[in-house]
Amino acid sequence: MSVYKAILKSLRANMINILVYFSIFAIFGNISARATASTTEDMFREVVLKVAVTDYDNSLISQGLVEYLDKTQNVVDPQTEDPIEMNDNVRFGIYQYALVIPEGLSDKLQAGETEDLVDYIAPGSSMSEYLLTEKTNAYLKDVVIYIQNGYTEKEAVELTNKQMLDLDDTKAIVKDTSEENHRSFYTGMFTFNGYSLSMALCICISTAFIFMKEKDVRNRISVSGMSFKKRNVASILAVLSIGIMLTAAVIVVICIMAQESVNGKFIYYILDTLALMVIGIGIAYFISSLTENENLINMLSNMIILSMCFLCGVFVDLQFLSEGIIKVAHFLPLYWYVTAIKFINDTPINEIMCRTFGTYLMIQILFAIAFFVAGMIISKKKEQYAV
């Protein structure tokens, strides 16, 4: 019991690390899960874009256009008149489109000019650029046609606004065939968990392992009356307890955050997370066999886990990775963790517990065993050559 307690107490030194990774998880995991969660749809909803409008003309036409955009899109203040700053805002998604209506637009349109009158800033050639340009162009084209065919400026703007807003009734029919959510909140949270839990496990358990290797600690345990078997069982139980405590804490955080989007697949996500816990312990053992320096442990954990997260679809969805990278990712444990999460998300609840899911879990456990074996070999060799 004293060995068990000592290892658990050694965890105190890592409290700041644990808090940091849990905060990262709670903040960024939540943000990314909410941003990527999408549910089954049965009603058409048009994409609404953030548009920044600068109106230097202030005419009936420009005001009508701004009113139309305000009713159909999300019009925001550009906060600047500098096109470069607007471009940066568009490029980094503060808004998706910036429209600059120049002075004299109304006069030019009434005179029949129709080429290159209004400047817009958009991120290259994208869907949002196409949509907003089409909508704005269609609006101004209608106004010009009305004015050129006998209507006054006021009549033209009123008619155009009315018919443009009436177009909201033209809606597509959505035939969504997916069984449940496209991507649930759980999927987002548990995917991000691939980073935070692995990091927390690697750092905490590696330091617990090196605590056990400390000369003083080792000597004190050796002179105690505890048998070799008891000592080892206590150490293994302590490491497992740390793993289970951290994993349970992560699951509790997800439970609290996902109260609005509860679904019956939660238990399968927990199974996958337990497999991740075993991987985390395996990697931690492997790292602790390489070095006993806490700074190096921190650095190695960051290097190994961060690289795996980028390669295996934790930070960037697998669909955006190239085929070559995905092939390489097959040789990494986090890939199977993420694949299992995807499988849980996409499969109806009564079909999840099948051979495929079992295979994913088994592969993860095999990876953990591989890390343990590698760690044991390194430790043995180090002992043999007194490194």
Partner 1 sequence: MFLRIFLYKFRQISRNRVLVGWNFLFPLVLSTAFYLGFGNLIKDDPDTFKTIEAGYVNVDQSNTTFKEVLEGLAEETDAHGKIISLHNYSSKEDATKAMNNGDIAGFYVEEGYDVDTVVPANGYESTTLNQIVREYDNGKTTIENIAKDHPENMQNAINMMYENFGILKQHDFGKNTSQYLQYFFALIAMASLFSSWISTNILQGMCANLSEEGKRFECSPTSKMMAITAGILAGLVMQALANAIVIIYIQKVLTINMGAPLWNLILLSTIGSGLGISSGVLIGSIFKNKQLLFAIPLCFSMTCSFFSGLMWGQIKQIIQYHCPIMNKINPAALLTDSMYVRATYGATSAYYEDITIMLCMIAGCLIISTFLLRRRKYVSI
Contact between 315 and partner 1 by CB under 8 A: the answer reads: yes
Restricted to residues 254-293, the positions that interact with partner 1 (CB under 8 A) are 293
Restricted to residues 42-81, the positions that interact with partner 1 (CB under 8 A) are 44-47, 79
Chain centroid to Cα 75, Å, comes to: 27
Restricted to residues 132-161, the positions that interact with partner 1 (CB under 8 A) are 133-138, 140-142, 144-146, 148-151, 159
Of the candidate residues 35, 173, 223, 256, the single one contacting partner 1 (CB under 8 A): 173
Closer residue to partner 1 in complex, CB, 118/361: 118
Q: In whole angstroms, give the CA distance from residue 382 to residue 387.
A: 5
Contact between 174 and partner 1 by CB under 8 A: the answer reads: yes
Backbone angles phi, psi at 285, to 5 degrees: -65, -40
Sign of CA dihedral 354, 360, 363, 364: negative
Restricted to residues 82-121, the positions that interact with partner 1 (CB under 8 A) are 83-85, 87-89, 91-94, 100, 109, 114-121
Closer residue to partner 1 in complex, CB, 12/175: 175
Contact between 28 and partner 1 by CB under 8 A: the answer reads: yes
Binding mask 221-260 for partner 1 (x = CB under 8 A): ----------------------------------------
Contact between 166 and partner 1 by CB under 8 A: the answer reads: yes
Distance in Å, CB of 120 to partner 1, minimum: 5
Restricted to residues 202-221, the positions that interact with partner 1 (CB under 8 A) are none
Contact between 303 and partner 1 by CB under 8 A: the answer reads: yes
Contact between 41 and partner 1 by CB under 8 A: the answer reads: yes
Any idea of the CA torsion for 245, 247, 252, 257, to the nearest 10 degrees? 150
Of the candidate residues 8, 26, 60, 131, the single one contacting partner 1 (CB under 8 A): 131
Contact between 199 and partner 1 by CB under 8 A: the answer reads: no
Helix (H) or strand (E) holding 213: helix 185-213
Count the neighbouring beta carbons within 10 Å of the beta carbon of residue 349.
14
Count the neighbouring beta carbons within 10 Å of the beta carbon of residue 246.
22
Distance in Å, CB of 273 to partner 1, minimum: 22
Residues 6 or more apart whose Cβ sits within 8 Å of residue 100: 54, 56, 83, 86, 118, 119, 120, 121
Residues 6 or more apart whose Cβ sits within 8 Å of residue 385: none
Characterize the bridge pairing of strands 50-55 and 74-76.
parallel
Backbone angles phi, psi at 230, to 5 degrees: -60, -45
